[in-house]
Structure 1
Amino acid sequence: MIKISIDLPDLLSYNKLTRSKENKLKKEVKEITDIGNTDLFLSYQADKNTEINYFFDQIANPADTIVHEKLLGRDTISGVTTYIKQRGSKRVILMTKTKDKNNELKITNEALRRISLDTSNLSKLSYMNLYNFYTIAPHKNFLQGREKIRTAPITDPNKLMFKEALYITLNSFMSNNKEYDLLIKDYEKNKTNFKEVVGNALFSNEVKKDKEVYNTIDKLAKNNQILILNEDHFYPGHRLFAMTLLDILKRNNFKIISFETFVPNTENSPEVIPNSRNGFYIKDPYFGHFVRKASAMGFELLGHENYDRQLDREMGQAKNIMKILENDPQAKIFIYVGHGHLEEEGERRAMASYLKEYSKIDPVTINQETVTADVKHDLVLLPKAVFAQDSLMKSSADYFLINNLHASLESVYTDKVFKTIKLKNSAFESFKNQELLVEVFSMEEYSKTNNESVLIPIQSILMIPKKDEITVSLPLGRYYITVKSVDGALFKFNNFSIE
C-alpha cells in the first residue's frame, strides 16, 4: 500500500483519465523533471481555470527520511507550475495548470500543502466522512462510495464499528444489486427468529394479511391521533410501505408527517422536494418517492431530529414533536422513525415514551423492523398479543409488520406504462463485465436545478453494459440520466424522451 494521502478540497470535479491524456501529462512531467517512471494517480479541476495533477514516484535508495519540497519549474506563459514533495522512498510530483496568473504560486502551495507523505491524515479518515462525501454534491457516486468504504485503510475499532451499517445503507440505495442481496441475507441470519410464533399465528383472525393490513390501519388512523411507524434503514421496501399508507392517512385527516433526521426546505425555498439536503436517509430513491408523493398530496413535512447536544436525543425528539401539538392540539400526526424510537416501554426510554408522557396521548406504534419471515404474503400485521408469551420479543410496539414488499419502479408507478429503452455510448465497451450505476432523474425536477447531484433519482440501478449499450425499463416520460463507473467516469443523457 502507498501510504500517502491528499486532503481534497470540497468543490472539485475529477478529470477522466484516458490513456492519451495520461501519456500526455506524463510526457510533460518528464520534460520538466527528467523523471520518467511516474504514475498519474489523481487529476481534478479545482475550478474552471485550474487543473491539479498528482504523480507518484518510488525512490530506490533515499538519502534520508526528511520531508523535502522543491520547485522544479514555473512557466508563467502557460501557467504550469511543477513541485516535488518527497519523504524517504515516496515522492509526489505536483503539476498545476491555471489561467489565474495572479495566484499561480498560491494555488500551487495550497495543492502542495494537501499532500501527506505519512499516515497522519488517516486520523481524519472515517466511514462516516466517506459516506457523506460520496452521497452529496458535488462528489455523489454511490458505486464509488461503496468501493471506498470497502477498501478504506481504517483500523481504529471506534470507527470500524460503523463500517457494516454504512456499507449496507449505501448498497441499499442501488437496486439490481447482488451484493446488497447477500448482505441482507447475512444480516437477517443474525436477527431473532420468530418463525415458530409467526407460523402458529398466521391462521388467527387477529393476524391480518396483505389487503387486510391496510383495512386495519385505516381503522387505526380513523380512531387515533398519532401513528408511529418505524423502519430498518437497510430496507427500501419499508419506505415503499410507508408511501402506500399516504392515501389512508389523507382520508383520515392526517396533515403532518414528521421524520427522523429530516431537514425541511426553508420557507419559499426554490429547491425541489425531495433533495439531498433533506436528510441523512433521503438519498434512497424509495425514501425520495415517499417524500415526493407526500409533498404532492399536500402533507406538511417536518423533521423532529434533536440537535441540542445538551439534551438526550430521545427526549429532544419528543419535545420537537410536542411543538406541533402546542401549535395545534388536535393535529393528527404520522411519525416516521428508525428502529427503537417508537418504543413506549423499555429499560432505556425512547422518543415515543417521552411523547406519550408529555402529550398524554397513547400513540399507535407499528414495528416493521423486528420480525422478518419467509411467508407467501407480502404483508402480515401481527398484534403484540401474539408475542405475549415469547421472552425473545423485546419490543413494546402495538403491532408488528412482516414486510416482504419488493421495491421497484413498477410498485411506485402502478398506473404508468413502462417501456424498455437502450442507452448507447461507445465508451461503455471499455466496461466489459463491470457494474455501472445508472441514475434516472425526473426531467421536470432537473430543469428546475440543472444539478443532478442535489436531486433524488427516481431510480439508482446497477447494470452491466452489453457492448456499447445499457438496457433499462422506465415509465413513459422525459428524464435526465447519468451513468457512473466505480472510478468516477460519468456519462450524461439529457432530456431523454420515452414515448
Structure 2
Amino acid sequence: MSCSSVYKSGYEASNRFIIGDAYNYYNDSLKVSLDLFGDYRFRGKCTNILDYHNSIDRKTYRLDKKLINTYFPKLNVGKDNFIFRASTLIEPYYHSAFFCIPNKFVSNSDSIILNIPKRTLIHYFQRDGSAYFHLLTLDKQHGDSYIEILQMEAEHIRDGINFGSEYKITSPPNPFEIYSKAMADSGNYLSAISAHRAIEPFFFTENEKWNYRQVGATYNAFIQNNATYDDLLSKIYRPSKTVSIQTTKYDTEALNYLKQEIEGKQLVMINEQHWQPKHRYLGNMLLEYIYSQGFRYLAIEAIWKGQDSLNIRKYPTQKLGLYTKDPQFGNLIRNALRMGYEIIEYEQMGENRDFLQAKNIYDKTFKENKDAKVLVWAGIGHINEEKSEDPKMAYHLKEMSKIDPLTIEQTSGDPYASRLGKHYLAINDDTTKKGGQYDVRIYNNIPEYDFRIIPDVDTKTTTIPLSEMVKNKIKQHGRLLLMVYDKTEFAEERFNAVPLINYLMSDNKSPNLELPPGSYTAIIKSPTTAIIEELNLMIE
C-alpha cells in the first residue's frame, strides 16, 4: 500500500519532516513545529496512523491512548487525535508520542503526570485553544535515577516546541556540511571551528542549540588546549545531582579489571562518544594487551567505505573518515597497524544499519575463520547486546557468530566522570552484572595532558619555540594552530595526513609537548590556512 493511499488522521495528515543532523517536525495545519534531537527517528516511512500501527504495533498505540483517557476520561482521545511518534536510537531508549485535541479547553496550567509502572511521563499543555499531550516512555525498566532523566528529556523536548506566531518553517544550516567544507581543501582544523562560531546565530531553539553544540564539540575535540571544547561539554552534559558514582576500583586496579575481563574472550566490543578523544585514548592504552591475547582484527565503525589501502599504507589520512580526523583516533589506528592488527571497515548507513554492520563484521572475520579474535570499536549504543524492539549491532553479531561478546560501555558515565577528581578511570560497580545491555560500564576521566602518541613509551618534553612572527600572528588572529605530523607521512601526504597532535596557541607561551623518539614536522597555521612556520623536530 502506498503512502498516499492510506488513511491519515486530520491533523496528522499535515505532518512534514526535514531530516538532517536534527529532526525537524512541522504541522502547517496546527501551526506547530518541533526540533527533536538527532538521536530521534520518526517511526514508519509514511508516519501516518496505519503505518504507525504497522511499525510500532497496535498494542503500543492503544496503551498511549488508554493512558491519556485514564487521566482525562472526558476527552475520549482516539486515532484522529494522533500526530506522530518518534523513538531514540541510543540509550536510554525513549518513545515519544504526540496527540492533539483541537478546540478543547482542559486547564490553564501545564501539568506533568508520572506513571512509574508504565515508565511513562505524560505532559499536558494548552496552546492556542487546543489541548496537547506528549507521552514519553522508556523502552524498558530502568533504575530510579532514570526518573529524573525522563523528566529532563521531557523538558528538552518541550523547549523545542513552537506554536502560532513562533511557528517556523525553516531550519538552521547543516553544521557538518559547513565544517567539512571548511576543512576540505587544506585539512585546516582551525578553519572548521572558526566556521562553527560563524553559524551560531542561526540556531534558536534549545534543540537546535543542542545540535549545534554536539557537532561543534565533535570538531573542537580534535584540538587540544581548546577552551571552546570545554565550554561546549559543560553545556551538553547536565549531570543529575542525585546520581553518585558507585565504584571501588580506580585507575590501575580498574585497568587491570578490564584486562582480566578481556582475558579468554573471543569477541570484545568497546564504544565511544564521537566527541570524546579520551575514549579513543583508553582504547589505545588497551590495544597492546588485547593483541597479546591473540586478537588480530580491529573492526572500526568510523572508517568510510573503500579504504582497503589502509592496511597496506599503515597510517590514516583525512579521507579515511570524519571521526578518524581526530589525532587520538589516528594514533589508535597507527598503533594498531604497527602491532599487526588487520583493520576492518564495517559501517553501513540506511535501513537495517545495525544488522548489516554485524553482517559485514561477521563476513570479514568469523565466517572466514571461526577461531578469529575480534575487537570492535563502535559508536555509543551499537554495542548493546540485548534483544529489543530495535536490536543493535552487538546483538546481531552475537546471534550470527554464536559468540557472547564482552561489551565495555564508556559513554553513559561521561556526565559524571569529572566527579572522579584526580582518578582517571573507574569501574561502575552497579553495572558489572553479566547478561544485560552491557557487561561493564566505566567512568573515563583521562585528562588530555596525559595523552601520548604511543602509550607506555618514554617521551621527551619538547618545547616549541615562538618566533616574533608567530607572536605577532597570534596577536593578529587571536589564535594559531600547531599541528605535529609524522615526518614521513607529511612528506608523502602533506595536509591529507592526520596530525599526531593538534594544539591551539592563543597566547605567547611556548607549548610543551611529550614526544616519543622519532622525526616530526611541526606546522603552525593561521585561521586563514596560511602556513606561518614549518619546523623539523628530531627526538632521540
Question: Shorter-chain TM-score: which interval?
Answer: 0.5 to 0.7
Partner of 1:22: none
1:176/1:385 CA distance change after superposition, 3 Å: closer
Deviation, 1:386, is: 6.3
Q: What is the CA–CA distance in structure 1 between the aligned matches of 2:256 and 2:510, rounded to whole Å?
A: 41
Partner of 2:317: 275
Q: What is the CA–CA distance in structure 2 between the aligned matches of 1:289 and 1:477, rounded to whole Å?
A: 14
Partner of 2:194: 147
| Alignment check: 8 A CA contact 1:126 1:159 kept | no
What is the 5 A alignment of 1:38-437? 126-136=174-184, 138-152=185-199, 154=202, 162-188=211-237, 190-191=238-239, 195-196=243-244, 198=245, 201-203=246-248, 208-263=249-304, 265-267=307-309, 271-307=313-349, 309=350, 311-323=351-363, 324-345=365-386, 346-371=388-413, 372-373=416-417, 374-376=419-421, 377-385=423-431, 396-408=437-449, 411-413=452-454, 414-424=457-467, 426=469, 428-432=471-475, 434-437=478-481
| Alignment check: 8 A CA contact 2:247 2:429 kept | no
Q: What is the CA–CA distance in structure 2 between the aligned matches of 1:128 and 1:159, rounded to whole Å?
A: 13
Normalised by the length of structure 1, the TM-score is 0.65
Deviation, 1:232, is: 1.0
Q: What is the CA–CA distance in structure 1 between the aligned matches of 2:343 and 2:529, rounded to whole Å?
A: 34
The code of the aligned residue for 2:272 comes to E
Tell me whether 1:438 sits opposite 2:482 in the alignment.
yes
1:489/1:123 CA distance change after superposition, 3 Å: farther
Normalised by the length of structure 2, the TM-score is 0.60
1:273/1:133 CA distance change after superposition, 3 Å: same
The code of the aligned residue for 2:293 comes to N
Deviation, 1:382, is: 2.4
Q: What is the CA–CA distance in structure 2 between the aligned matches of 1:151 and 1:491, rounded to whole Å?
A: 23
Secondary structure, counterpart of 1:254 in structure 2: coil
Q: What is the CA–CA distance in structure 2 between the aligned matches of 1:280 and 1:316, rounded to whole Å?
A: 20
Deviation, 1:134, is: 2.8
The code of the aligned residue for 1:442 comes to D
Partner of 2:520: 479
Deviation, 1:236, is: 0.9
Deviation, 1:403, is: 0.5
Secondary structure, counterpart of 2:459 in structure 1: coil
The code of the aligned residue for 1:256 comes to Y
| Alignment check: 8 A CA contact 2:315 2:337 kept | yes
Secondary structure, counterpart of 1:163 in structure 2: helix
Q: What is the CA–CA distance in structure 2 between the aligned matches of 1:461 and 1:245, rounded to whole Å?
A: 25
| Alignment check: 8 A CA contact 1:259 1:302 kept | yes
Partner of 1:28: none
Q: What is the CA–CA distance in structure 1 between the aligned matches of 2:520 and 2:500, rounded to whole Å?
A: 10
The code of the aligned residue for 2:178 comes to L
Q: What is the CA–CA distance in structure 2 between the aligned matches of 1:252 and 1:225, rounded to whole Å?
A: 9
Secondary structure, counterpart of 1:405 in structure 2: coil
| Alignment check: 8 A CA contact 2:482 2:525 kept | yes
**Deviation digits for residues 230-283 of structure 1 (CA, Å, limit 9, x no counterpart):** 011111111100000012111110110101121474348874512112222011
**Deviation digits for residues 117-166 of structure 1 (CA, Å, limit 9, x no counterpart):** xxxxx999631211222334x23222221121232375698987742221
Gaps of 5+ in 1: 1-121, 389-394
Which protein is bigger by CA-based radius of gyration? 1
Moved more, 395-404 or 229-238: 395-404
Deviation, 1:185, is: 2.0
The code of the aligned residue for 1:421 comes to I
1:427/1:361 CA distance change after superposition, 3 Å: closer
Deviation, 1:326, is: 0.4
The code of the aligned residue for 1:382 comes to N
Corresponding pairs, count: 357
Partner of 1:10: none
| Alignment check: 8 A CA contact 1:424 1:470 kept | no
> Cα RMSD (Å) of the superposition?
2.9
Deviation, 1:214, is: 2.7
Q: What is the CA–CA distance in structure 2 between the aligned matches of 1:428 and 1:191, rounded to whole Å?
A: 39
State percent identity of aligned pairs.
27
Secondary structure, counterpart of 1:432 in structure 2: helix
1:305/1:410 CA distance change after superposition, 3 Å: closer
Q: Which has the higher contact order (CA 8 A, sep 6+)?
A: 1
| Alignment check: 8 A CA contact 1:168 1:180 kept | yes
